[in-house]
A and B are shown apart, each in its own frame.
Chain A
Amino acid sequence: MPRGLWTTTVGSFPKPPHLERARNQFARGEITAEALESLEREATADLIKKQEEIGLDILVDGELYRGDMTTFFAERMSGFEISNPVRSYGNRYYRKPIAVGPIRRNGPWTVDWWKFAQSRTKKPVKGMLTGPYTMMDWSFNEHYPTREAMAMDLADAIREEAIALAEAGAQYIQVDEPAVSVRPEELKLAIRALGRAVEGVKAKTITHICYGDFDVIYPAMLDLPVDMIDLEMANSRYDLLDRFRQHPFTKEIGYGVLDVHSHRIETRDEVKRGILRGLELLKPEQMYVDPDCGLKTRTVEEAMEKLAVMVAAVREVREERGITA
């Protein structure tokens, strides 16, 4: 019997409202770091349980203790300062890292959180990091002479963390590179930097890319030196499959079937159809089924409902096609 169609998620989950409130209280100095962390642990343990109940095969810690995906890491490295707020759209702002000196990893960033999450389940929990190209592209740079020099120092720091996660027992390590798709002319640099970041890491390596002009970077992006590339399929109505028809997808794929920007809960049939279309071109053992992107912008209820539909659809396809997990 063929195996495959494992289910997972891209990484982030929505923070429950009480945790959002606690983060704001902490920012205003109304509660201690310890008090916040104990709530984060509780919420993470609860999220692991929820993922098991839904029936996902590969779990994540949900990143409930992280804010922005670059600032969280920059705050934990030497060589970075964090800027005052910069606007991203409308009334949304974020603090952006500024490279002001050589970037180094001085100690673990996420290993304790990974260990905590893994201790709550027998299923594998993915290690989740932001990639060197994206960290570079989404930061200001006052120190490095070139974008490449900064990306490569970041890659060395990220590699230390990835190795530490693998040594702690992580079987899957995902190094997200959402920025890769917006500057196709720098794809080669992104490939070099990501290659450095995962070099010698004894785990299955994954990268997630999103919101991009895949027409320009496919099939060149297949050179990204990881085992699996995670892509948004549903958001572009599975248009990417046409590209795969012209040039086969040669790696394992994180196959996104849930639109994370929509409140609407997908139907089981539409998710199933999306998976079946994929199976026309991809082998089941190549495919990991997941949402298009992180779920953090959805409500907790929407996220769980969407995932339940996804798992149910996968179960039906597995049954019909005689595929086991």
Chain B
Amino acid sequence: MTIQTTLSGSFPKLPLTPGQSNVRVTRNRLDQGKATGRDLSEAIREATRRIIALQESAGIDIPVGGQVAWDDSQTFVARGIRGFEIAGLIRYLDTNTYYRQPEITGPISWTGPITAEDYRSAQEMAHRPVKAVLPGPYSLYRFSKDRHYREAAPALRALGEALALESGALEEAGAGWIHFEEPWLGRAAAADAPSIRAALEPLFHGRRARTTLHVPFRSPAAVFDTIRGLGWTALGLDLVESPEAWDLLPEVPKGRTVALGLIDARNTRLEDPARVAQAVDRARSIRPDLDWQLCPTASLEYLPVDRAAMKVARLAEAARLASRNGG
């Protein structure tokens, strides 16, 4: 059986070879008044095209657009939702990267598509169906400062509904697969389960597109009972940073897909595809009934572009080996 390959979240924006169109340089030139907003849009399109082409030529089955226009994983979407203001720069967990902290200052409501236009343009550049990627509502809440609701449950319900509406807009734009990035599920306690359910349920309810719930970094064991009960198509796990996430495989509901995060998105050391394929075999032997994807543990943007590209190639190679093994 074939193993599908995919990426999660963002991809490094810099070109692999010098001389190519460069978003970083264009943004600096824009700040200096030497480039226009149109130059930047063109550079963003060019980088997106390059990122999709890199995935397609490596043989990635479900490519992503790479979030080239995003400053960080949260604010691009938070900015587009009414009720948020964007505050100062703070650390993004323990990754030594930063994000601007969204602050909830009023009632949360979705007033129109935020990512659909970029999705449409990425899909036009691709030969395969592109996966749309959104921050998950639970993590967006935990990354934010709540100055309005003051209790988690109503805020999370409102955020879940807002992101469900955004998912609907992505479906309208043609997205057949939507990925929600939820690092905070690995840091949640059992007591958080009801609010997690309130936030996540609307995402999967009546969804036409297939969906991934991806939990990078830590294992979501503490709230797995709740996660099991939700209607996602695929569950993404980080098996490098949290090998204990292997223990969740026996508990995954029948008929679902698990996206095995076996390519380390946070270290430059390159994986041996044969060993990754062995790990996939091990997963299949634990649960012969499930479907499988192979992916990096998290966003590849924690790496420099050269290593990220090599990891994509190794990922594809490992999946080919595993598909062959699986006969």
On A, residues with C-beta under 8 Å from B are 83-93, 96, 98, 137-138, 140-142, 179, 182-183, 211, 261
Contacts and interface: CB of A to CB of B under 8 A. Distances in A.
Among A86, A88, A96: residue with most chain B CB under 10 A = A86
A89 B97 contact: yes
B247 interface: no
A83 B304 contact: yes
Contact of A182 (B13, B71, B89, B91): B91
Given A93-B24, A138-B96, A211-B91, A87 B267 contact: no
Contacts of A84: 14, 304-307
Contacts of A93: 14, 24
B12 interface: yes
Contacts of B14: 84-85, 93
Given A86-B302, A89-B71, A182-B94, 15 more contacts: A83-B268, A84-B14, A84-B305, A84-B307, A86-B12, A86-B303, A87-B12, A87-B301, A89-B100, A96-B304, A137-B94, A140-B269, A142-B269, A211-B90, A261-B88
5 contacts: A84-B305, A85-B24, A89-B99, A141-B269, A142-B269
A85 B14 CA distance: 8
Interface string B187-203: 00000000000000000
Interface of B: 12-14, 23-24, 27-28, 71-72, 88-91, 93-94, 96-100, 267-269, 301-307
- A-B pairs, top 10 by smallest CB distance, nearest first, are A84-B304, A89-B98, A90-B71, A182-B94, A142-B269, A140-B268, A91-B27, A83-B304, A138-B96, A88-B97
A84 B14 CA distance: 10
Contacts of B100: 89
B14 to A, nearest CB: 6
B73 to A, nearest CB: 10
A227 to B, nearest CB: 27
A84 B88 CA distance: 27
A183 to B, nearest CB: 5
A174 to B, nearest CB: 20
Nearest to B268: A140
Contacts of A96: 304
A142 B93 CA distance: 22
Give the interface centre of B100, B267, B301, B306 by most chain A CB atoms within 10 Å: B267
Contacts of A211: 90-91
B231 to A, nearest CB: 33
B71 A179 contact: no
A182 B93 CA distance: 7
Contacts of A98: 268
Contacts of A87: 12-13, 97, 301
- Which interface residue of B71, B99, B100, B306 has the most chain A CB atoms within 10 A? B71
Contacts of A90: 71-72
Given A84-B306, A142-B268, A91 B301 contact: no
A142 B267 contact: yes
Contacts of A83: 268, 303-304, 307
B171 to A, nearest CB: 29
A142 B302 CA distance: 15
A160 B262 CA distance: 38
A140 B267 contact: yes
Given A142-B267, A142-B269, A182-B91, A88 B96 contact: yes
A138 B99 CA distance: 17
Contact of A85 (B23, B97, B98, B304): B304
Contacts of A261: 88-89
A267 B74 CA distance: 34
A238 to B, nearest CB: 18
Nearest to B269: A142
A216 B233 CA distance: 36
Contacts of A89: 71-72, 89, 97-100
Nearest to A142: B269
A88 B97 CA distance: 4
A142 B99 CA distance: 27
Contacts of B96: 88, 137-138, 179
A88 B98 contact: yes
Contacts of A86: 12, 301-304
A241 B65 CA distance: 46
B55 to A, nearest CB: 18
A46 B149 CA distance: 51
